Structure 1
Amino acid sequence: MSLPLQVILMPDIAEDRATQSLKKRGSMSSLSSHEFRRKDLHGRTKDSMSTVSYMDEPSQRDDVSRLTVQMENTYQLGPTKHFPVVTVNHILKDVLTNYLQEEAYEPELCRQMTKTISEVIKARVKDFILPRYKLIVIIHIGQLSSQSIFIGSRCLWDPKNDAVSSYVFRNSSLFAVANVYAVYFE
């Protein structure tokens, strides 16, 4: 990929010298040069050359400019495809059942499992490639004994475009609650 470096508009002698040096360096091609005539203040016609030179290998400065991506406004206020809540519910059920069916509650193991399960769920949901949806995956795993737990969450969102999927799993020694929040980013 070639990147434009400079545009040169020069009059008379400086133009001739620049043209010769560009030809020697090989920076000027017939496709990137445009010659045109213009009238001088005294009514004479002058030849001018507009040259764009290109560079094949990017510099460090170009790497920095590639990191910041400028996106154009699309003026799209809603998603083209809505978040598939039912499909994500099936994913949650499948992942939690596969990972936790035979597990007993151990605090350290459950701490690691929450990280692993949340990454697996996020990867599987991202396979749908829903543009402009930000995903938040939260997993709670706890010991199942004679206690109760309340898990609450609050979100400020647009109910028409944003969605949540949730699934509760239980076995003989633990419980797990998985939530996936899909927030549409305009």
Structure 2
Amino acid sequence: MMQGSNTYLIRPNHQHKFKPAVVKEYIREIVRDRLSGVRYNPEEVPELCRSLADSIKDKVKNAGLDRYKLVVQVVIGEQRGQGVKMSSRCLWDADTDNYAEDVFMNENMFCVAAVFGSYYY
């Protein structure tokens, strides 16, 4: 092992910290790109959710957050003017861990995407 190489980082340096505003922009960009003009189709939703979650995860992972465990959740539903409420709770380190989310809506569907980042000590 090389001298001076610290593999037991317990805090990310600033440039590798999970930044919700940046991650929210990644989510927004991917979801809008993939869902703009798309009509709700219940047969296609499961694969669309998986595909969006994978794309979002890859984009966030490639942004230098390699010491973070990521959980990506994507929910797509038909837009019929109904109200939808979602909530989540996490037990984590408030200094290092965080999340970002974004909501997309068009005339016939809604999509809520969230990314949770937990720093791996």
Structures share a fold, TM > 0.5? Answer: yes
How many pairs are equivalent?
Answer: 115
TM-score (structure 1 length as normaliser): 0.58
**CA apart distance, 1:151:** 1.2
Higher relative contact order (CA 8 A, sep 6+): 2
Which of the residues 6, 30, 33 maps onto 1:95? 30
Q: Which has the higher Rg, Structure 1 or Structure 2?
A: 1
After TM superposition, where is structure 1 displaced by more than 6 Å over at least 4 residues in a row?
A: none
CA distance in 2, matches of 1:128, 1:113: 23
* Per-residue deviation, residues 138-174 of structure 1 (Å, max 9, x unmatched): 0000011131111111110111100101000000000
**Counterpart of 1:143?**
78
Partner secondary structure for residue 159 of structure 1 = coil
**Which one of the candidate residues 51, 57, 78 is aligned to 2:11?**
78
Match in the other structure for 1:129:
64
TM-score normalised to structure 2 length: 0.87
Residue identity over aligned pairs, in percent, reads: 33
Distance in 2 between residues matched to 1:111 and 1:124, nearest whole Å: 20
RMSD: 1.7
- List runs of 5+ in structure 1 lacking aligned partners: 1-72
Mapping 1:6-21, distance limit 5 Å: none
